[in-house]
Every structure is written in C-alpha cells, then in structure tokens.
Structure 1
Amino acid sequence: MARPLYGGATVIHSVPYYAQWASPDLVPAIIGGAMRAADDPLWSAYGAKSPQEYEWWSWRLCGMACLRMALGFWQQPVPTPMALAAECVEAGAYVKRPDGLDGLIYAPFAVYAERRWGLHAEARPQLPGSEIPELIASGRLLLLSVHPSIRELSPSPPHRGGHLVLAVGTTEDHVVIHNPSGFPGHSQEFARISWDVLDRYYAGRGVVLGNGRRRSTCP
C-alpha cells in the first residue's frame, strides 16, 4: 500500500469504545480459550436471551460494535448488540445459515444505516488506504475489513480481511483504530497502526459512515 500523502496533519475523533463482547477486559481470555464467552458475567447486558445465544452471536458482531461506536460518537441512541443484529438480519445485512452467519454484507448494511439512523453510509468494495486520511478529515468514520490478527500485529496473517475495525483517526504515519476484538491496554482503543503494517491485514474494502441531519430513536 502506498503511504498516503496527508501533509503531516493529525485528526483523531473522540469516539467511544465498545468491544464485541460485553466485558472488554475479558477479551484476551475469551479469544485465547481460557474461558468461554458464555461465562462472561455481563452477558445479559448484550441483549441476549441466554449465555448460549450471547456466545454464538458475540463472535460474529464486530460490525455491530463498530456501529455502536459510531452511534455513540454522533450522540444517537446506542441499542444492545443483539437489538442491532436483529434489525440487520431483517435488513439483509446478516443472513443466518444452519452452520453459521453471512455478513456483515455491506450494501444492505449501508441502506439500513441510512434509513434507520439517518447516517450517510456508503458501501465501498474498493476503499484504497490512500483515501482514508481525507475521509477521516472530513468527519467520517470507516469500517475497515482487516484480518483479526491485527490485534497482535501478527507478522504473517494468512489472508487479508474477515474482521471489522473502526478507523477513528489518522496521523502522517498511522491509521488510528478502535478494534472490537482488541486487547485492553494494547489494541482496543485508539490503536495506532502504521500504514505499511496495515497493508498486511487490510482487504481494501469497508463502509464509510458520516453524520446525517436526522436523529433516530429506538423503537
């Protein structure tokens, strides 16, 4: 990835952080297998009906964590992840299968984000890294498709993409992200990823979100 030319300016939006699990401090233990997500003591805050439902969905809702962060930043209501997931299933942004879940599917998600929340939303199957600084400077937040091992800066991820993070800022040398599956004190909030390192993980696609004029309310 060519290093973006951005004149050395730093723009970092003060976006609140939400993990894709109910307890951000337990993310390393859950991902590492030291505990099951179903044993998260805060599982009910997720909006799930049972620990088992929470466990199944929590591994799959990085996109809903990113949406919750964006809604909080733009002072919208912030529903539970399960409430948002149900709406996205209805909107076609998630498709449940007997053996898993398809999504987040960008185009129907963008339509949903605009209709439901009054956001400006654009699905970008091609989103070059060189465009990220200008978009951030214009007030946008970006859902970026990266390999999940970006949380540990693995030197050799097996492929790019598969996990969504929220780009909340840029510097001359870095993109600044909130990672829903990041590790506390290390790669959760305002994690700085150098542009050349980002190239190992970033699939070059995502969703651009911007603040709209209309405020929505929870039904």
Structure 2
Amino acid sequence: MIELYELAGSDAEVRFSPYVWRVRMALLHKGLAFNGLAWRFCEKTRLETACGGDRVPVIRDGDAWVKDSHDIAVYLDETYDGPRLFGGKGAAEQARLMEAFVTTTVLMPVFPMIAADVCACLDADSAAYFRKTREQVLGRTLEEARADRESRLDSFRAGLAPLRMTLKGRSYFSGDTPAWADYVVFGCFMWSRIVSPFELLDSDDVLHAWRERMLDAFGGHARSARLGYTNLPS
C-alpha cells in the first residue's frame, strides 16, 4: 500500500497541508489505497534519512520514494491505470502554470490571514518553529498579520476572477469531472478549512459551489476530515 507522509497538527489526525491535499485527492482519483502517516515540522531528519527530502508531501510506493505534489501526480499517472490526472501529451507541464497561478493568487494572499490559526493547531515544538520562521517571512507577528484580514477579503476575492471565468459553463476546472487542476485549487481551500474558521468565499460565489462539490467528492472524503481549531480568535 502507498504511504503518504502528511503534515499533522498537535492532533495527529489533523492533516492540513495544501500540497498534501492535492495528493490525497489524486490518490482517490486514481482509486489507489494509501496509508497517511503523520509528520510534523520538527521531524525533518525523518524524511532526510529516508529520501533526502525535508518537507511533505512524500509518498513511498514499494521501493520508490517520490517528493513534490506535481511529481507525485506525474508518477501516479505514469505508474497506474485508471482515470488520468492530466490530459494528453504536455498536459503535466502545462499544469505548472495553474500551480504557479494558485500559489500567487490563493496561497500567498491567504497565508498571512490564517498563519496564526495554523500555529494554534500545532504541537509546542512545531509551533515555536513555525512562528520563528514565518514571522521572519512576514516581517511581523502572526497575530499582527491576522488582525486586519477582514479588510483584505474583498481584494482577495476579486483576484479569484480568473478562476470564476474558468468555471463558467462547467462544473469543474477540468470539465465535467475533477482532475489535477481542481485538486491544485482545492488543496488551498482545504488548508484554510482545516486550520481556520475564517471564511474565504461568499456563499453565492460560484467558487463556493465548486468547493462544496469537491468536499462531497469521493464519498465526502474531504468533508469528513478532522478540523484543527476550536474557538480560535477571529
């Protein structure tokens, strides 16, 4: 059975990495059984020893170790039959554009809004590491970065216009059924959903309706995922 190393909170059942969720959905898409293994920020040597990496997602498939969500998706399509994650020739490389767009348009704007919420979900050692490294990136405390998030929502939502345009006339970014492009976007919203009560989308947004369909996919696998927060400050 494939082993998937997943970023976990203080509760080992809270798995929140946006990149890991891409892979989770990809494994379900391919109909592959897998075992999710909890991994935390302060366990880098655990993966360095095994495969030379220091971050997740990582899969172990027999003797094969594969790192990076994109490379894992390519590996799954090349190794296993079943529904394709990517379309025809060149589609995997073309998907890198979507991944870069999602990083700059969704992940990066959302990060300061929920980073403090992520920290609150972590064990003490991971929280200390996360706070030190992420505050260096943000140039302010996690709480300061979260404080004005309401005022940034309109700008963030406006920046999602290309995603809404892509969904016009279709149920998923990949067409009639979800595939890798959907999992790339969805991973971001699962990350936020699991660590934070802060709502990123209006209820009448077509992206909200798409997200609901994704939560219900594969028997509601994502909808049933353990949440990592209780009574976090808004």
Q: TM over 0.5: same fold?
A: no
Is the radius of gyration larger for structure 1 or structure 2? 2
TM-score range, shorter chain: 0.3 to 0.5
Q: Which has the higher strand share?
A: 1
- Structure 2 length as normaliser, TM-score? 0.32
TM-score in terms of structure 1 length: 0.34
